[in-house]
Structure 1
Amino acid sequence: MKILVADDDPQILRALRITLRARGYEVLVATDGAAALNQAIEHKPDLYLIDLGMPRLDGVEVIQGLRGWTSAPILVLSGRTGSADKVEALDAGADDYVTKPFGVDELLARIRALTRRGTGGPDAEPLVRIADLTVDLTATTVTREGADGGPPEPVRLTPTEWRILEVLVRNAGRLVTRQTLLQDIWGSEHVTDTGYLRLYLSQLRKKLEPDPAAPRFLLTEPGMGYRFDPAGGAVPGDPAGAAPGEPAGGAVPGDAIG
């Protein structure tokens, strides 16, 4: 089992490296937040031990970056004891929180508990290509290749457009039902408002598909939902994005379209 330990205290890093290796774990270390994300992308650890007070990127930013593409357990190790710090870390996506100083036996028990709990599915790749676009699940950005070899150009998505795209990309190749998307993004009171999805899928296709009228990547499964095809294969169903019987859609809450 591979564990990434991210902490800017060299003594803690050394102690954890020795302790965890003695228990048979493979240990990776990082001394700042940016290095932690780079290590995570390169090595895809099975579990993360993250300090909150790190340079370059703090622990909460690291957790948010990880949660864009991995469901591996995250255990926070921090000297911050306030409830607000704990809530912020847990809301960002951490699975557990241990305050410093901590006992080795307690730490190992927490690791075993998180390992038994499982991850809930395979990780997505942090960088996903769609034609000339790159979707970065860590940075929550979409960029288009620059003209004539120039720098990449950002593609502006609204927060709701990004959330829909993220769900589809993280479930690449699998059907995501309309009800699942509506509940995850707008809440259970909107599970029948399929017009929202028709409108947003149309907007996403205009921004991301080479030919929005004949989508290759963001596909409709008629009567069921949507599917992201990373290979850009054949298109099932209605290219306009509405499954048979979907309403045309009206006012949509929550976003200014741009």
Structure 2
Amino acid sequence: MRLLTAFIFAILFHGFAHAQATQNPKLLVTPLTDQVLVHSTYGVYQNNSIPSNGLIIKTKDGIVLVDTGWDSDGNTDNTRQLLRWVADNLRQPVRLCIVTHAHEDRVGGISALLKAGVRVISTPLTAQKSVKLGYESPEGILPNDTTFTIGQEPIRCYFPGEGHTSDNIVVWLPNQRILHGGCFVKSVAAFGMGNVADANLKEWANSIRRVQSQFGTAKIVVPGHEEWSDTRALDHTLRLLEKHGAKQR
């Protein structure tokens, strides 16, 4: 009987461990170019394990991150793992992190970054919303449209208007022709709009069109979740918005 009980417990424990591993895979880092990589960490949304994408930008003056790892409930394991990966593999200090809006998959790991001495910046609205959600505040210094250069790498932060949230920005790397759309842009693999709790569904399409006008030459468009592609992701987001609107009517 004891052996049977132990055997059943072992099966259940293995199944639980497997489920946990399925829900939370390890950090994935994927190169896009010699200078830009995607960091993907995982969170759970509607009982599914979902990848969340940010950028790692290598410059001559250190590393710039776009968005933290997906961390929640005070657990910053994903962002700390990201920092360890950069230290072990790139051997450059992380100089800066740009957060693209105030949701846990973008700003959830801010405490780990600040503890490591990394400067975190955002728009003033994102900083305000981060504090309201219980996170430490990034430096809310970014204008709605600004370009700055770190280590000879120009980085443009652009607020296209409300969409996924009222504070979502995109990040453009002109030398690489890479656009980080964050959760404002849906992956071509997406079948729906995802989390729209804080969305402005009436303005989102207009905001997407502004991005198309500004960054229509992008070679790579990285959405907040799932796989990346090119400017087809912008077209796909518009189509999803149209379908979502039709369902709501």
The TM-score normalised by the length of structure 2 is: 0.28
The TM-score normalised by the length of structure 1 is: 0.27
Which structure has greater helix proportion?
1
Which structure has greater strand proportion?
2
